[in-house]
Amino acid sequence: MTIRTVLRMGEPLLLTVAKAVTEFDTPELHALIQDMEDTMADMHGAGLAAPQIGVSLRVVIFGQKENDNTHNPRYPDADKVPYTVLINPKLSVIGQAQEEGWEGCLSVPGLRGLVPRYLHLHYTGFDQYGHPIERTVSGFHARVVQHECDHLDGLLYPMKMTDLTTFGYTDVIFPDQTLP
Ligand code: NI
């Protein structure tokens, strides 16, 4: 169990396009994913991208394991998203419909902002064993995938905001809730 340090906005690696994974089911890849899982759990993240722990590879994890029935305290109203390891993802938007929603990021601690995201999404990729993944998703699941995959292209959610007046400190915007 290794909880890694999450890089914060300002770190050049977070602005770098990550490289594709070329070998699956290796001890290095399994160790990376284990560290990402431990780090995400410790920080109650809804997702985590490898560049956030300093590894510039196209690997993201997101969602909650089946036996975890708790609500994520960072996103108490969110629909449950199945725990997923997604490598070398490819996203294609379905339709042009977008929806605004509150986002935070472990690399931008203490802040929240409203971010428009595509509502419907088809994505493909691989798990850590090289098995293909293909899904069509909507809503919060689609939002999380877009947020995490943006990290692989060096994009953080404030760069996707269209109204910066909604950008602020979590405890100021949501004074009655304790969102980590
Ligand atoms: Ni993030």
Q: For 64-93, what is each residue's pLDDT tens digit?
A: 887 776 667 777 767 789 999 999 999 999
* Structural domain of 46: 12-173
Catalytic residue among 11, 66, 99, 148: 148
Q: Is residue 7 part of a domain?
A: no
Residue with tokens 């935070």: 104
Count of domains observed in the chain: 1
Q: pLDDT tens digits, the chain, 180 residues: what are they?
A: 799 999 999 999 999 999 999 999 999 999 999 999 999 999 999 999 999 999 999 999 999 887 776 667 777 767 789 999 999 999 999 999 999 999 999 999 999 999 999 999 999 999 999 999 999 999 999 999 999 999 999 999 999 999 999 999 999 999 987 766
Q: What is the pTM of this model?
A: 0.94
Residue 19's beta-bridge partner residues? 57
Domain with residue 168: its CATH number is 3.90.45.10
Closest CA to 49 of 73, 22, 19, 82: 19
Closest CA to 124 of 84, 79, 151, 66: 84
Q: Is residue 180 part of a domain?
A: no
Cα 150 to ligand 1 centroid, rounded to whole Å: 8
66 is catalytic: no
Q: What is the largest CA-CA distance in the chain?
A: 47
Cα 156 to ligand 1 centroid, rounded to whole Å: 7
Q: Is residue 4 part of a domain?
A: no
Cα 107 to ligand 1 centroid, rounded to whole Å: 6
Q: Is residue 179 part of a domain?
A: no
Q: Is residue 2 part of a domain?
A: no
Cα 94 to ligand 1 centroid, rounded to whole Å: 23
Q: Could you tell me the strand order of the sheet in which 168-169 lies?
A: 98-103, 111-118, 168-169
